[in-house]
Amino acid sequence: MTQFSRREFLEQSLFAAAAAGVSLKAGLSAAAEPVRRVGANERVRVAVVGVHGQGSVHVGRWLSLGDVEIAAICDPDESVVGAPIKKVEDKSGKKPVHYKDLRKLLEDKSIDAISVATPNHWHCLAGIWAMQAGKDAYVEKPLGHNLFECRKLVETSRKYERMCQMGNYPRSLQQSRDAIKFLHEGKLGKIKVARGICYNKRGSIGKKPDGPVPAGVDYDLWLGPAPERPFNPNRFHYNWHWNWDFGGGEIANNGIYQLDTCRWGINKDTHPTTVVSVGGRYGYEDDGQTPNTQVTVFEYGDVQIVHEVRGLPTEKFPPDVLMGNVFECEKGKLVMGISGSAAYAPDGQLIQRFAGPGDHFRNFADAVKSRKRGDLNSEVLEGHLSTALCHLANISYRLGATKPAGEVAKGLRTDAGHEAADRTFAHLKENSVDVDKAEFRVGKAISVDPKTERFGDDAAANALATREYRKPYVVPENV
């Protein structure tokens, strides 16, 4: 993969540190805290922030590392903290401290790093606050809720010289690293199309009325930067993924894995020239806002990424992919999946298989000790450039117009996009969706300035590149 030394211009122009000075964010000082160097034989003291769902994975992974201590658990929902606290105490013999409020946790100078597994809308602010408080940050995928705050997370890492890693674990799998190296060595020739396949069956979440906040939940803290809204279980645990205020749909949930691998494979360290996304929510009517069917084409001039999301029951993408990648090249194809990767000749003959494990959490803990940004397998800038693909796809989609099926191919522009649209129509028909009567949101073709991450004078696109933050949970312009 491209080394950071080749990104000096990008970092200087796009992620230059904010002007020096001290500002206050909800009681946290932006003045740099000294970094406590963790010795080779010392334990890294980690606090897990958000322990429902993916946070339980974080707890298990950190517990498996002998030189890491889970010193604290932070979650505004008291009903979800009991099990992880007990798990940590049973395994380590030490009971971690529970904090409801991240700001109180960050006052503890003995904490070396936080491990963020909150809903998306909290990812960046948690990481920014942590790094300003002198701590490193492991931040779950996707990196954040919007383009603006992800860029600010990068700037914070640079300004305060903190380690920050996005939690896209395939970057640390040996099978992935070897397969991408094979691709970069040109053994399959030029890449024509990089495909991301995210076929993940999802049922309807139904419709639920607003109601009282559950006992033990600090709802103000849970909302954080997001707009104030009545409590609704379909906007709370997990189902927040399908609401624009908190998540970015399946493309930002699991699609980030394939999009990151696509960008890694095509070896691009800037944003695409043009993005178009089409789709909709089909097969049921519920409270979800995000599409369960989405096709996005990312154009880079000499190569393109085509990403597909399917939430209804579906056949695998040939030869055998439900969640993974296919790189179509001049001299064959590279297929990357959860269980392994393989390169094939044009006639389908196997060229080489790639296998081997890896540990993304181990990688971060080692970098906390080395203090070398280049040791991170998914450093925050890498995370931002890949997460941006999710945001660009959703901005295009949300700015689109409702059109009949016959207009979809025109919107997707490329032959690979047209082919993906045809297969998507066949897929919907297999799920009893009347394609001729269905409405498709055909996204607006958008282009982002790679230096400013703005969309020229497109006010609507620029508005979706950030959000109005709810005080005091504000991501600052100057970090």
HEC string of 162-196?
Answer: CCEEECCHHHHCHHHHHHHHHHHCCCCCCEEEEEE
Number of helices (H) and strands (E) in the chain: give both, helices first.
Answer: 15, 18
The pair of three-digit structure tokens given for residue 138, joined into one six-digit string: 């492991």
Helices (H), 35-119: 54-63, 82-92, 102-105
Check residue 37 and give its pLDDT: 73
* CA atoms of 143 and 138, how far apart (whole Å): 10
The pair of three-digit structure tokens given for residue 95, joined into one six-digit string: 């009971």
Q: What is the pLDDT of residues 278-308, one digit of tens each?
A: 999 999 999 999 999 999 999 999 999 999 9
User: Domains plus CATH for the chain?
Assistant: 30-171+363-379 (3.40.50.720), 174-203+215-357+385-464 (3.30.360.10)
The pLDDT of residue 442 is above 90: yes
Contact, 440 vs 408, CB < 8 A? Answer: yes
Check residue 32 and give its pLDDT: 55
Q: HSE of 403 in the Cβ direction (CA atoms, 13 Å)?
A: 19
The pair of three-digit structure tokens given for residue 344, joined into one six-digit string: 């094939």
SS3 5: helix
Q: What is the pLDDT of residues 383-418, one digit of tens each?
A: 999 999 999 999 999 999 999 999 998 889 899 999
The pLDDT of residue 23 is above 90: no
* CA atoms of 289 and 276, how far apart (whole Å): 19
The contacts found for 3-9 with CB under 8 angstroms, 24 or more apart, are 3/374, 4/373, 4/374, 4/379, 4/381, 6/269, 7/269, 7/381
Cis ω for the linkage preceding 119 (within 30 of 0): no
Residues in CB range of 23: below 8 A, 6 or more apart: 30, 476, 478
Rounded to an integer, the average pLDDT of 351-376 is 97
| Residues counted in the chain | 479
Check residue 24 and give its pLDDT: 34
Q: What is the pLDDT of residues 185-244, one digit of tens each?
A: 999 999 999 999 999 999 999 999 999 999 999 999 999 999 999 999 999 999 999 999
Distances (CA, A) of 400 to 310, 394, 440, 445: 19, 10, 9, 9
Contact, 242 vs 289, CB < 8 A? Answer: yes
Check residue 21 and give its pLDDT: 33
Contact, 419 vs 259, CB < 8 A? Answer: no
Residue among 157, 166, 142, 139 at smallest CA distance from 15? 157
Contact, 442 vs 275, CB < 8 A? Answer: no
User: What is this structure's pTM?
Assistant: 0.93
Rounded to an integer, the average pLDDT of 24-43 is 59
